[in-house]
């Protein structure tokens, strides 16, 4: 007979229930309310499939869908090998300056998406510095630009997931393979790849979904090349037709649903991870591997750096390309935006809180799912809710938040218009990648840690705090910085949610760009980049402190 | 330790929404009005200062964003409007809100003497106009010299084969600017000729952008030779040294109004009415006149420079209400004609 | 009469339609060392996890020290466990790992220090106290895991294939150590293994499992000498086997020849007969078979001979010095002592 007291498994179930509630309030309910618009008229009356018929009735529909599909597929096909090579170089080689490379790898998500788009225009636009590199008659506006920009934009996501997946390896597997006279290529194929399979699937799902749902890039650099994400923009912002916006948003959810099943499938494939007795793999120097990797990583880093370099330069000149005189006037934000530097403070508060609240939440929920042993429908719901945000375009999420939190009957309505709703929105919006990072890290832990703790009558939470958290600290730091950085740079959802005193700097960037103050927009983007890059450097410093002792240095 | 962190986070969160209420929180008896607007960033401070100077007990809290975003927010917040007043938003948007019964009817003192086509036709009025901005061509003189692009002075000049692939224009289904441009063509040319004109223009278009400001911003940077945009866009760009000329075509231009309205359900109705009243005063009009060439109050002379003398005569005669009603149909037709075959060129 | 310290009564565990455990009854006496032996997938690990509370059985009850523990979570039971992976906390030193469970009011600092010193001395790791698991050898890791499991003097020690990850020499060495330690501490121990040699050498009693059932429980000697069925005979110890049919006073093999054996099976029953190499006698006695020597395997203290005895694949063991001039191809006579021939009905 189980004793009628609160034991570990009841507690775990309660915790997961709380997480489910939070995800329901932060994602499912708002999104449900928004997507229900697809079946309603403007006054909320049910109209069935009228909007779907109208949308599918248009012959122009298939084109955006097809465009979205193939540009995203090409993006994924390009990014994945690049990110894998990069992550491999970071984790399985003895490249010099790996810490620096790791920081550079994140550049595209360190700044608002406008920054790479702006740089690409400066570099390859019709007046671009490197325009000569484009084929005759070619243009950066259109699918080429979309694919290039999305490769840059999705690269850090993929590289981050793959670095975690490749981050821990059992040295004995490599020794075993070597003693079996397996060549380097065979070891790679039979040891390295299978161990990273889950990471590879996650990374492809993430890259593909991000590419499908992002509207910022096609909006700025896509010209008139129609994709599904700009269809949402057109319906929601252009025409305030939320019903049609919801119809397209539902179509955009399809890749995520597919991704969810792909993730479950990969989970089944995942070979046993690293065990407690594994010997952590420390790569030896090997020129035949390290030199080509160095060249590849340098090339990638160079591309990313030139993007930032271009933007920084752009923020320091008077008016590109007609007045190239240098100036710092563009950093005097108060002359371009009512809130001046103040919006940066809002962003810092918002991003800091997002990391502070989001990191424990994400890690704890991932832990509950992977190790809580909770059965029933609850984990299934939480899993879906954790993967779904990736597929929800930011502006759909932003609108959904208005509909839900501004509803007069919502007891949570008091957070509307405050920093709190921005924080909640950011945590949910960037939940998926953070979640996948946590899951990947947790899956690499020995499955018996908790059992050992329990046998020693050590409470579960203590083993969690003393063993699981310390071992996962690098991944936890990754998650915190990821959330911070994205919250600093995000625009699409928060643009609907900020109040009179809570306008984030990233929104100010867009406003300045719209007002024609491109240089000051670039300047503000560069300041954001400086802040996020500092956060990343702090993390690197912290990781350095963490390594040593039992943890191998990266 | 993590518990303490969480507690700290909780406290911060609590502080976050306690310290920044969006609703009315009258400090020192001043009524804080939440005002939604789409006016230019640089205008926020002067407008706020002028209003607060005239109405000492009112404090203005701006929420500013682009027309599309602000309108979408307003529509989404319909269940429980958060704004008290809209001050400076497209009349097309306000008509949409009026149709949703979201505007509080109120006729400010002196609103009757506004130009008839720049105020609500309802009684009491649902909105009052402030100023008008028009569709215009941003012409990059440097690019033009380089590529030998003739300077257009009318819309029909844009059909010149020499401009093939040189023009950017906002997609009317994504951008209000795009729509008012199309509406202007229809008003001056008539609908069928306007479609014929756009068929021809399509041949010269390099790109239809989703943003209303991008054609001019990017024309200023030489990305396109010509960008169809709004007249006031060019001012900031020229001040920065862009080799750009703003051309208001002589064969009739579409325009849109910036207007003021009170949100139905505001908890500060009295203060909102006073702000709406201020928005139609001569003092306010003179303020608008620092940025816009056409003002709702006919006898106020705008201070803004660089507009042709006959500027006002170039405006198309547009029935905004009628155009608004036709909008869905026009956009559907536009999308059918030009969006489906929008292969990049 | 004293009841067993650990009683497993009618325990079953279903995973969907698959039954991992069927009607398992085992009693383990206080201080006894029991091995659960069986091939992989036989349910032995599932049973161990049920004893530990990591996996709740579908049916049946488990009692420890007279207390019903079937549904208790692991944290409310009294056991220490060593996993196949050891599950050492990589972020903690050897000493911290071992002392992980030594906390609470019962363990003031001084007592913890004393206990740690005692445990580390017990497993011979006093020198390694400050090292991390990744910095010590596999054998040392295993001993850390053992010391950790024993730290708060559990009533029951559970070992899940604790030696399987070690190389042969370390394994033999640790096997002896484990046995001595268990004897010395007198802790009731249940160990899961698929290595029958390990089970026979370590256990007081062996429970042989197959397809979720316990097919035989007994001392290593009993299990080895008197296997309960063909599975045990084949799985435990080395033996040669051949198909035959039961006949009065023996069995009949394919060639029609009658071989005497002790069996009570009805005549004609298809059977399988097993005989261990050490029981095959190289002797020309009445009823002996002619056999050709087909292979010789030198094992140090003994030589194993592969024989083809009138179609029966037999093995025999002799002392190397008795090998004389025997070479492959030689013809010998072999006798099968009837009481050593183990005969089981095929369907049994």
Give the residue-averaged pLDDT of A437-463.
Answer: 88
A302 and A440 within one domain: no
For domain B133-253+309-341, give the CATH superfamily.
Answer: Periplasmic binding protein-like II (3.40.190.10)
User: Does the pLDDT value for residue A263 go beyond 80?
Assistant: no
Mean pLDDT of the B101-123 span = 94
Q: Domain boundary at A327, A360, A380, which?
A: A327
A136-145 pLDDT tens trace:
777 888 888 8
Average predicted confidence (pLDDT) for chain A: 86
How far is B112 from chain A, CA to nearest CA, in Å? Answer: 31
User: Which of C85, C132, C148 is facing A549, going by the closest CB pair?
Assistant: C132
Are A491 and A544 members of one domain? Answer: yes
Q: What is the CATH number of the domain that holds A455?
A: 1.10.3720.10
CB contact under 8 A, C85 and A277: yes
In this prediction, residue C80 carries a pLDDT of 94
Residue A60: per-residue pLDDT: 65
Least confident of A1-10, A216-225, A510-519, B200-209: A1-10
Q: How confident is the model at residue B32 (pLDDT cuts 50, 70, 90)?
A: very high
Minimum mean pLDDT range among A257-271, A395-409, C327-341: A257-271
- Beta-bridge partners for C28: C6
Q: Output the pLDDT for position A552.
A: 60
- Point out the least confidently predicted range of A335-339, C141-145, C162-166, C220-224: A335-339
d(CA A397, CA A402): 9
Which residues in chain A touch residue C76, judged by CB atoms under 8 angstroms apart? 3, 7, 457
- H/E stretch holding A289: helix A287-315
Whether B41 has a pLDDT exceeding 90, the answer reads no
C141 vs A contacts (CB less than 8 Å): 277
Average pLDDT, chain B: 88
Q: Please name which of C19, C22, C27 lies closest in space to residue C11, comparing C-alpha atoms.
A: C22
**CATH 3.40.190.10 residue window(s) in chain B:** 29-132+256-295, 133-253+309-341
Q: Which residues of A touch C91 (CB under 8 A)?
A: 467, 470-471, 550-551
Residue with tokens 């792909």: A262
pLDDT digits (tens, 9 = 90+) for C100-130: 999 889 999 999 999 999 999 999 999 999 9
C307 vs B341, which has greater pLDDT? C307
C79 to chain A, any CB pair closer than 8 A? The answer is yes
- Residue C108 Cα distances to A214, A467, C103, C105, C154, angstroms: 58, 22, 8, 6, 18
φ, ψ at C309 (rounded to 5°): -100, 90
pLDDT at B150: 95
- The CATH number given to B29-132+256-295 is 3.40.190.10
**Is A423–B13 a contact, with Cβ atoms under 8 angstroms apart?**
yes
Whether residue A49 is contained in a domain is answered as: no
Q: What is the pLDDT of residue B28?
A: 55
A535/A472 same-domain check: yes
Cα distance between residue A84 and residue A97, in whole Å: 18
Name the domain count of chain A. 2
User: What is residue A278's predicted lDDT score, i.e. its pLDDT?
Assistant: 57
Hey, are the CB atoms on A455 and C149 less than 8 Å from each other? yes
| CB within 8 Å of chain A, chain B residues 177-236 | 206-211, 213-214, 216-218, 220-224, 233, 236
Question: Where does A316-448 have alpha helices with state H?
Answer: 342-371, 377-387, 394-405, 419-429, 431-443
Report whether B122 contacts B105 (CB < 8 A): yes
Average pLDDT in chain C: 91
What pLDDT shows up at residue B200? 94
Q: Decide if A211 contacts B42 (C-beta within 8 A).
A: no
Q: Which residues of A touch C74 (CB under 8 A)?
A: 451, 454-455
Could you give the CA distance from residue C237 to residue C279 in angstroms, rounded to a whole number? 12
Same structural domain, A391 and A469: yes
| Residue A58 reports pLDDT greater than 80 | no
* Out of C68, C133, C158, closest to residue A277 by CB: C133
Assess if residue A123 is contained within a domain.
yes
Q: What is the CA radius of gyration of chain B?
A: 22
Chain A with chain C: Cβ pairs closer than 8 A: 106
SS3 labels along C53-93: CCCCCCEEEEEECCEECCCCCHHHCCEEEECCCCCCCCCCC
Instruction: Name the residue of chain B whose CA is nearest to A121's CA.
Output: B223
A-chain CB neighbours of C92 within 8 Å are 466-467, 550
Residues 6+ apart with CB under 8 A from A184: A286, A288, A289
Domain assignment present for A421: yes
Residue A225: pLDDT band by 50, 70, 90 thresholds? confident
Q: Clarify whether residues A301 and A379 are in a common domain.
A: no
Give mean pLDDT, residues B243-250.
Answer: 92
Asked if ipTM goes beyond 0.85, one says yes
Measured from the Cβ of residue A492, the count of other Cβ atoms closer than 10 Å reads 24
- Same domain (yes/no): A8, A84: no
Proportion of chain A in helix, strand, coil states, percent, rounded to 5: 75, 0, 25
Percent of residues, chain C, with pLDDT higher than 70? 99
The yes-or-no verdict on residue A3 having pLDDT over 50 is no
Q: Which of A429-438, B150-159, C31-40, C188-197 has the lowest mean pLDDT?
A: A429-438
> Measured between alpha carbons, how far is A462 from A413 in angstroms, rounded to an integer?
36
CB of B74 within 8 A of CB of B103? no
For chains A and B, what is the number of CB pairs under 8 angstroms? 209
- How far is Cα A98 from Cα A536, in angstroms, rounded to an integer? 14
Quick one: pLDDT band at residue A112, thresholds 50, 70, 90? Answer: confident
User: Which chains are within 8 Å of C by 3+ CB pairs?
Assistant: A
- Angle (CA) A414-A419-A421 rounded to 5° is 55
- B16 to A141: CB separation less than 8 angstroms, yes or no: no
Indicate if the pLDDT at residue C348 is higher than 80: no
A448/A550 same-domain check: yes
Q: Same domain for A465 and A454?
A: yes
Q: Is the Cβ pair A496, B72 closer than 8 Å?
A: yes
Per-residue pLDDT tens over the stretch B55-100 = 999 999 999 999 999 999 999 999 999 999 999 999 999 999 999 9
Residues 462-521 of A with CB under 8 A from B: 465, 495-496, 498-502, 507, 511-519
Determine, for residues B213 and A318 on separate chains, whether the beta-carbon distance falls below 8 Å. no
Phi, psi of A189, deg, nearest 5? -75, -40
Tokens of A397: 């999420």
Nearest CA in chain B to A314: B221
pLDDT at C81 exceeding the cut of 60: yes
pLDDT tens, residue by residue, A375-427: 888 998 998 899 888 888 888 899 899 999 999 999 999 999 899 999 999 99
Closest-CA residue of A relative to B173 is: A238
The closest CB to that of A455, out of C80, C90, C91, belongs to C80
Residue A45 domain flag:
no
Q: Are strands A317-319 and A323-326 parallel, antiparallel or unpaired?
A: antiparallel
User: Cβ contacts (< 8 Å) between A280 and chain C: which residues?
Assistant: 90, 134
Whether residue A338 sits in one domain with residue A321:
no
For residue A487, give the H/E element and its range: helix A469-489
Contact list, A460 vs chain C (CB under 8 Å): 75
* pLDDT at residue A168, as a whole number: 67
Do C and B count as touching (3 or more CB pairs closer than 8 A)? no
Question: How confident is the model at residue B25, as a pLDDT?
Answer: 44
Closest chain A residue by Cα to residue B75 = A240
Q: In A, which residues are within 8 Å of C81 by CB distance?
A: 451-452, 455
The verdict on a CB contact (< 8 Å) between B240 and A414 is no
Domain interval for residue A240: 54-327
Decide if A46 is inside a domain. no
Assign A4 a pLDDT band (cuts: 50, 70, 90). Answer: very low
Which pLDDT tens digit goes with each residue over A511-545? Answer: 888 888 889 999 999 999 999 999 988 988 888 78
pLDDT, position A2: 36
For A9, the closest of C73, C88, C138 (CB atoms) is C73
pLDDT of residue A279: 61
Residue B49, chain A, CB below 8 Å: the answer is: no
Specify burial of residue A179 (Cβ count, 10 A radius: 0-12, 13-18, 19+): exposed
Of B190-194, B266-270, B316-320, C304-308, the poorest mean pLDDT is in B316-320
CA C326, C329, C333, C338 dihedral sign is: positive
Give the pLDDT band (50/70/90) at residue A546.
confident
**How confident is the model at residue B319, as a pLDDT?**
87
Q: Do C87 and A279 touch (CB under 8 A)?
A: no
Contact flag A455-C91 (C-beta cutoff 8 Å): no
Q: Is the pLDDT of residue A88 over 70?
A: yes
pLDDT per position as a tens digit, A148-172? 999 999 999 899 888 878 876 666 7
Asked whether residue A312 is assigned to any structural domain, the reply reads yes
Tell whether A89 and A166 lie within a shared domain.
Answer: yes
Handedness of CA B62, B63, B67, B70 (dihedral sign): negative
φ/ψ region of A134 (left if φ > 0, alpha if ψ in -120 to 50, else beta) reads: beta
Cα maximum dimension of chain C: 77
- Tokens, residue A340: 């001046």
Residue closest to C259 by CA, chosen among C311, C212, C213, C216: C311
Query: How many angstroms separate the CA atoms of B158 and B46, rounded?
Result: 37
Beta carbons of C90 and A7 less than 8 Å apart: no
What's phi and psi for C321, nearest 5 deg? -70, -20
Residue A44 lies in a domain: no
Q: Under an 8 A CB cutoff, do A420 and B5 touch?
A: no
What span, in angstroms and rounded, lies between the C-alpha atoms of A111 and A487? 10
Going by pLDDT thresholds of 50, 70 and 90, the confidence category of residue A255 is confident
Task: With CB atoms and an 8 Å threshold, state whether A323 touches B240.
Answer: yes
A393 at B interface, C-beta within 8 A:
no
Name every chain B residue with its beta carbon within 8 A of the beta carbon of A320.
221
Number of neighbours of residue A29 by Cβ within 10 angstroms: 18
Contact A420 B73 (CB under 8 A): no
Residue in chain B closest to A60 (alpha carbons) equals: B340
pLDDT at residue B7 is higher than 60:
no
Q: Say yes or no for a CB contact (<8 Å) between C88 and A277.
A: yes
Find the CB nearest B344 among A223, A336, A507. Answer: A223
Query: Residue A362 domain-assigned?
Result: yes
A272 and A341 part of one domain: no
Give the three-state DSSP class for C99. coil
* B5: confidence class by pLDDT, cuts 50, 70, 90: very low
Nearest to C70, CA basis, from C90, C103, C47 = C47
Residue A433 pLDDT grade (very low, low, confident, very high; cuts 50, 70, 90): confident
Phi, psi angle pair for A416, to nearest 5°: -65, 135
* A349 in B contact zone (CB under 8 Å): yes
Q: Give the pairing of strands C33-37 and C270-275.
A: unpaired
**C317 φ, ψ (degrees, to nearest 5):** -120, 135
Please answer whether residues B111 and B197 qualify as being in contact, where contact means their C-beta atoms are separated by less than 8 angstroms. no
Instruction: Express each pLDDT in C25-60 by its tens digit.
Output: 999 999 999 999 999 889 999 999 999 998 889 999
What percent of chain C is helix, strand and coil (3-state, nearest 5)?
Answer: 30, 35, 40
- Helix ranges (DSSP H) in chain C: 44-52, 94-98, 109-122, 138-150, 168-185, 196-202, 220-225, 230-235
Closest alpha carbon within chain B to A146: B344
Verify that A234 and A344 share a domain, yes or no. Answer: no
pLDDT at A384: 87
pLDDT confidence of residue A289? 84
């Amino acid at each position: 007979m189980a004793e009628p007291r609160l034991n570990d498994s009841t507690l775990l179930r309660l915790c997961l229930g709380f997480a489910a509630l939070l995800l329901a309030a932060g994602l499912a309910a708002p999104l449900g309310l928004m997507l229900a618009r697809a079946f309603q008229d403007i006054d909320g009356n049910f109209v069935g499939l009228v909007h779907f018929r109208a949308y599918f009735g248009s012959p122009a529909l298939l084109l955006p869908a097809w465009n979205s599909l193939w540009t995203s597929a090409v993006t994924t096909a390009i990014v994945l090998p690049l990110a894998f090579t990069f992550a491999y170089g970071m984790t399985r080689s003895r490249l010099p300056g790996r810490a620096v490379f790791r920081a550079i790898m994140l550049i595209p998500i360190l700044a608002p998406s406008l920054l790479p788009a702006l740089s690409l225009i400066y570099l390859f636009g019709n007046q671009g510095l490197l325009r000569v590199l484009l084929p005759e008659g070619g243009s950066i506006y259109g699918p080429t630009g979309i694919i290039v920009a999305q490769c840059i934009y999705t690269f850090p996501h993929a590289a981050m997931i793959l670095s975690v997946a490749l981050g821990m390896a059992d040295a004995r597997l490599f020794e075993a393979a070597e003693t079996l006279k397996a060549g380097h290529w065979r070891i790679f194929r039979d040891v390295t790849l299978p161990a990273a399979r889950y990471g590879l699937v996650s990374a492809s799902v993430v890259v593909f979904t991000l590419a499908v749902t992002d509207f910022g890039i096609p909006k700025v650099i896509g010209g008139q090349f129609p994709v599904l994400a700009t269809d949402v923009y057109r319906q929601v912002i252009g025409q305030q037709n939320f019903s049609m916006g919801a119809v397209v948003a539902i179509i955009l959810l399809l890749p995520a649903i597919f991704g969810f099943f792909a993730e479950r499938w990969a989970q089944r494939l995942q070979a046993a991870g690293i065990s407690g007795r594994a010997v952590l793999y420390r790569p030896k120097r090997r020129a035949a591997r390290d030199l080509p990797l160095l060249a590849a990583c340098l090339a990638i880093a160079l591309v990313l750096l030139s993007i930032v370099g271009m933007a920084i330069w752009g923020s320091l000149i008077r008016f590109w390309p007609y007045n190239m005189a240098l100036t710092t006037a563009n950093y005097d934000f108060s002359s371009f935006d009512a809130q001046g530097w103040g919006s940066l403070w809002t962003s810092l508060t918002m991003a800091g809180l997002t990391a502070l609240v989001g990191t424990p939440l994400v890690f704890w929920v991932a832990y509950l799912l992977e190790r809580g042993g909770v059965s029933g429908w609850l984990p299934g719901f939480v899993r879906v809710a954790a993967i779904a945000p990736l597929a929800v375009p930011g502006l759909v999420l932003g609108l959904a938040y208005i509909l839900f939190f501004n509803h007069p009957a919502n007891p949570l309505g008091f957070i509307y218009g405050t920093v709190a709703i921005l924080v909640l929105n950011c945590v949910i919006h960037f939940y998926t990648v953070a979640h996948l990072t946590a899951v990947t890290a947790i899956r690499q832990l020995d499955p018996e840690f908790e059992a050992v703790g329990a046998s020693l009558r050590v409470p579960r939470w203590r083993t969690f705090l003393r063993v699981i958290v310390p071992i996962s600290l690098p991944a936890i730091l990754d998650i915190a910085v990821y959330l911070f950085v994205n919250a600093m740079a995000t625009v699409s959802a928060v643009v609907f949610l900020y109040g009179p005193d809570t306008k984030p700097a990233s929104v100010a960037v867009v406003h300045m760009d719209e007002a024609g103050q491109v240089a000051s927009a670039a300047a503000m983007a560069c300041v954001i980049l400086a802040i996020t890059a500092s956060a990343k450097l702090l993390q690197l410093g912290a990781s350095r402190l963490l390594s040593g002792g039992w943890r191998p240095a990266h | 330790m993590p518990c303490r962190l969480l507690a700290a986070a909780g406290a911060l969160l609590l502080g976050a929404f306690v310290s920044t209420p969006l609703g009315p929180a009258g400090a020192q008896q001043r009524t804080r009005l939440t005002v939604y607007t789409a006016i230019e960033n640089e205008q926020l401070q002067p407008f706020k200062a002028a209003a607060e100077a005239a109405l000492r007990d009112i404090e203005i809290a701006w929420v500013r964003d682009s027309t599309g975003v602000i309108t979408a927010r307003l529509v989404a917040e319909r269940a429980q409007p958060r704004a008290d007043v809209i001050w400076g938003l497209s009349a097309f948007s306000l008509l949409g809100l009026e149709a949703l019964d979201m505007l509080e009817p109120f006729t400010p003192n002196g609103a009757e003497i506004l130009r008839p086509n720049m105020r609500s036709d309802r009684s009491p009025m649902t909105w009052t106009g402030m100023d008008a901005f028009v569709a215009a061509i941003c012409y990059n003189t440097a690019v033009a010299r380089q590529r030998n692009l003739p300077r257009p002075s009318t819309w029909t000049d844009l059909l010149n084969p020499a401009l093939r692939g040189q023009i950017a224009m906002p997609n009317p289904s994504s951008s209000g600017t795009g729509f008012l441009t199309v509406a202007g063509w229809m008003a001056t040319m008539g609908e069928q000729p306007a479609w014929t004109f756009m068929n021809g223009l399509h041949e010269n278009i390099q790109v239809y952008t989703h943003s209303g400001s991008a054609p001019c911003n990017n024309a200023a940077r030489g990305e396109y030779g010509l960008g169809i945009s709004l007249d006031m866009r060019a001012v900031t760009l020229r001040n920065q040294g862009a080799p750009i000329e703003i051309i208001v075509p002589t064969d009739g231009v579409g325009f849109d109004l910036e207007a003021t309205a009170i949100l139905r359900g505001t908890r500060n109705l009295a203060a909102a009415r006073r702000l709406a009243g201020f928005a139609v005063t001569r003092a306010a009009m003179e303020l608008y006149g620092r940025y816009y060439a056409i003002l709702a109050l006919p006898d106020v002379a705008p201070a803004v420079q660089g507009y042709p003398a006959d500027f006002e005569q170039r405006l198309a005669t547009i029935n905004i209400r009628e155009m608004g009603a036709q909008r869905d149909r026009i956009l559907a037709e536009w999308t059918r004609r030009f969006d489906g075959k929008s292969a990049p060129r | 009469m004293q009841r067993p310290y650990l009683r497993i009564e009618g325990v079953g565990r279903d995973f969907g339609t698959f039954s991992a455990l069927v009607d398992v009854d085992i009693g383990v006496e206080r201080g006894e060392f029991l091995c659960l032996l069986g091939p992989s997938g036989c349910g032995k690990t599932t049973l161990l996890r049920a004893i530990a509370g990591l996996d709740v059985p579908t049916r049946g009850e488990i009692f420890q020290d007279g207390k019903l523990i079937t549904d208790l979570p692991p944290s409310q039971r009294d056991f220490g466990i060593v996993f196949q992976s050891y599950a050492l906390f990589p972020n903690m030193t050897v000493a911290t790992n071992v002392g992980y469970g030594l906390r609470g009011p019962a363990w003031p600092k001084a007592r913890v220090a004393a206990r740690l010193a005692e445990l580390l001395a017990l497993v011979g790791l006093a020198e390694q106290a400050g090292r991390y698991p990744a910095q010590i050898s596999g054998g040392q890791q295993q001993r850390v895991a053992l010391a950790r499991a024993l730290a708060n003097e559990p009533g029951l020690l559970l070992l899940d294939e604790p030696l399987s990850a070690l190389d042969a020499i370390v394994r033999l060495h640790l096997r002896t150590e484990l046995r001595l330690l268990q004897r010395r501490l007198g802790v009731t121990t249940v160990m899961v293994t698929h290595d029958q040699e390990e089970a026979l050498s370590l256990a007081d009693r062996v429970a042989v499992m197959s397809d979720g059932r316990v097919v035989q429980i007994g001392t290593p000697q009993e299990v080895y000498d008197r296997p309960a069925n063909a599975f045990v005979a084949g799985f435990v110890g080395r033996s040669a086997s051949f198909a035959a049919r039961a006949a009065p006073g023996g069995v009949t093999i394919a060639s029609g020849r009658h071989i005497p054996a002790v069996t009570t099976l009805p005549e004609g029953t298809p059977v399988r007969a097993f005989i261990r190499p050490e029981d095959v006698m190289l002797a020309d006695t009445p009823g002996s078979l002619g056999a050709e020597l087909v292979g010789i395997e030198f094992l140090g203290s003994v030589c194993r001979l592969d024989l083809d005895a009138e179609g029966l694949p037999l093995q025999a063991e002799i002392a190397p010095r008795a090998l004389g001039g025997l070479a492959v191809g030689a013809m010998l006579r072999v006798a099968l002592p009837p009481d050593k021939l183990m005969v089981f009905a095929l369907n049994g």
